[in-house]
Copies of this chain bind each other. A is one copy, B any other.
Amino acid sequence: MKRNLLMLLGFVAALLFVALPAHAAVAKETAYIFNTLSFLMHGFLVMWMGAGFAMLEGGLVRSKNTSMQLLKNVAIYAVAGIMFYLVGFDLMFMNVNGGYFGTLSIWSAADAGRGNFSTGSDWFYQMVFVATAASIVSGTLAERIKLWPFIAFVVVLTAFIYPITGAWGWGGGWLSGLGFQDFAGSTLVHSVGGWAALSGAIILGPRIGKFAADGTVHPIPGANMPLATLGTFILWLGWFGFNGGSQAAMGSIADIDAIGTIYINTNLAAAAGVVTAMLLTQLLYKKVDLTMVLNGALAGLVAITAAPLTPSPGMALVIGAIGSILALFAVTVFDKLKIDDVVGALPVHLVAGIWGTLAVPLTDSGASFVSQLTGVVSIGAFVVGVSSIVWLILKYTVGIRVSEEEETIGLDKVELGLEAYPEFGRGSQNV
């Protein structure tokens, strides 16, 4: 009888050993796969935003500068990926420990252990974000900046500037210690790009003919509105990856519920940005302005990016609508300041990005206005400071601006030796 009982006990013990840990392991493995899949799937959506910026900017410049704008966006995505591999990821994420930046070493998949997901998938996801920041700069500075000095700036931005401010927030640096909240990067991505673009725009100066001596502003329409619209749709799609993937997990009901909420709020903020811009431009200008509507969508998206999870759907509409309004009025302000921003990237990414970051405490009781403001100001000061130094060094060594004659001819012919649309009417002429 004793032996039977002992056998039975052994049986049960074996069962416990086999069934329970195996069971737990499977659950953990399943969550690991879901989490990693989220980074990969949302990552390829963010990668796709590279095409979005290329199309948006390629459509909003004049045809004589279109090929250059396309090339810059392809180059940005390539350079950002390489620099983030060589320098950026480690600077942003490795051993920041409440400080200002991480420890350098060339990234390898062995830099693991950040969570229950593949480190490679996380690296991929973080990498595609970097290019976004740089694309903002290329849009503002279009039609007059030289190719290679611009690329040089992108190298510095993607290898150092973006990863350092990123370390402050997402890398576990000093700002995150203060409670600074920026879910998917209204500040850490969009404003960083915006501040770098603003510094460049001031140092580079406006395009010939944009601002008359008497202060009037000469609008220079983009050459291809379907391209700009396509770019906006691509960015809108990519934003589900941008915000949804920033949940950084998908392996539990709570996480995937959160992603669903994020998709909804992201979409509603953009929709509110569109409708607001339509109504406002109709009221103010008696005509709906397609370019402002596209930028309204983007401003709504940028604004919701700092906190896409905590707002109610109604608040997401409000946050997006205010982002769109601010972006619309900011256009006039930058024009008054004679800062020439070719595609309207500063109103969208900088202004709506600041708004979104400061609005976080409205819906997230864990955030404080002071911490948010500290983040906005400190990152703004750092990025403007470092960017200005880099722009000025480039300006006074290799030069950053093409000659007046070259600008008049267009960058495509001068620097690339081809035209974007060689067969289309006046496409090859000066406009």
Contact = CB atoms under 8 A, between A and B. Distances in A.
Nearest to A240: B44
B51 A234 contact: yes
Interface string A1-40: 1001100110110011011101100110110111011011
Contact of A230 (B8, B51, B109): B51
A83 to B, nearest CB: 10
A419 interface: yes
A47 B424 CA distance: 31
Given A118-B257, A417-B287, A226 B58 contact: yes
A20 to B, nearest CB: 6
Contacts of A67: 225, 290
A385 B113 CA distance: 53
B78 A233 contact: no
Contacts of A227: 226
A179 interface: no
B237 A48 contact: yes
A79 to B, nearest CB: 7
Interface string A307-334: 0000011100100000000000000000
B263 A120 contact: yes
A132 B328 CA distance: 29
Given A71-B290, A275-B79, A313-B85, A223 B18 contact: no
Given A15-B12, A40-B260, A240-B44, A293 B51 contact: no
A183 B260 CA distance: 23
Contacts of A169: none
Contacts of A29: 252-253
Given A108-B312, A317-B82, A424 B425 contact: yes
B81 A268 contact: yes
A264 B297 contact: no
B425 A423 contact: yes
Contact of A20 (B19, B63, B267, B293): B19
Interface stretch (A91-99, A121-129, A351-359, A398-406): A121-129
Interface in A36-56: 36-37, 39-41, 43-45, 47-48, 50-51, 54-55
A150 to B, nearest CB: 12
Interface range, A side: 35 or more
Nearest to A82: B271
Contact of A36 (B33, B44, B221, B257): B257
A202 interface: no
Contacts of A47: 236-237, 240, 267
Residue among A34, A36, A63, A288 with max Cβ neighbours from chain B (10 Å) = A288
Interface of A: 1, 4-5, 8-9, 11-12, 15-16, 18-20, 22-23, 26-27, 29-30, 32-34, 36-37, 39-41, 43-45, 47-48, 50-51, 54-55, 58-59, 62-63, 66-67, 70-71, 73-75, 77-79, 81-82, 85, 106-109, 118-121, 123-124, 127, 147-148, 151, 221, 223-227, 229-230, 232-234, 236-237, 240, 244, 250-253, 256-257, 259-261, 263-264, 267-268, 270-275, 278, 282, 285, 287-291, 293-294, 297, 312-314, 317, 415-427, 431
9 contacts: A5-B5, A15-B15, A67-B225, A71-B293, A74-B229, A77-B274, A78-B270, A109-B264, A221-B419
Given A34-B37, A55-B226, A223-B424, 14 more contacts: A1-B1, A19-B23, A22-B23, A32-B253, A33-B251, A63-B424, A70-B226, A71-B290, A74-B274, A74-B294, A79-B275, A81-B267, A81-B271, A82-B317
